[in-house]
Amino acid sequence: MEIEDGGHLTFLDIDIYKKMDSSLGHRVYRNPNHTNLYLYQKSHHHPANKHSVLSSLLHRATALCDQESLTPELTFLTHVFKQNRYSHQQIKQAMKTATRTNKTEEIPTSTAYLPYTQTTFGRISRMLAKYNIKSVAIAPKKISSYMPPTKDAPGLKTPAIYEIPCECGKVYIGQSGRSVQFRIKEHERHMRLSQPDKSAVTEHSFNQDHIIRL
């Protein structure tokens, strides 16, 4: 439950506030920790992806702000866009698109999802457009996706000496020629099936009535 605080009530992305005449206004709400960092203008993404950042934020402003709050919100967004290195022309075009009346567009017969490469995507999308095929750019993979995982710790997947602590403070030290992971599962199975003769861990737990977390 949200409770009014200082004449403000936040709900999802909306800040409902009380005006001087006791009427209610509404505007965009942002978490105090919000950084205003969005898709950087010079990043290697299709221009449509970058434009969608501007258009989605502008659409939210026009949908959530009342008449008094809209102008300050658009001024604030203009400042945010400039911080993310969008040009004056890009911002102006996005503002114009956000207030444009929707018009009927031809529905594409199919959609092609293509990896975005700056030198070739535009050419291919224009060729497909002649056949009423919509092109959607797929963001390039991050460098990390081409690298082997760095946190590949074999740990329990190799033979080793291991320890299993008990709540009483005692520790069972074991050694396995198989993987430690497999040996731990054996201890768990003996505990589950009540087989103290097959596991010293199980025997200690049953004899002392102690809880052992495996």
Low-confidence ranges of the chain (pLDDT < 50): none
Q: What is the per-residue pLDDT for 106?
A: 64
Q: Could you give the CA distance from residue 211 to residue 214 in angstroms, rounded to a whole number?
A: 10
pTM for the full predicted model: 0.48
Please tell me the predicted confidence (pLDDT) of residue 21: 86
Contacts of 158 (CB under 8 A, 6+ apart): 179, 180
Please tell me the distance from the alpha carbon of residue 116 to that of residue 131, in angstroms, as a whole number.
20
Q: What is the pLDDT of residues 107-146, one digit of tens each?
A: 778 888 888 887 788 888 888 888 888 888 887 777 777 7
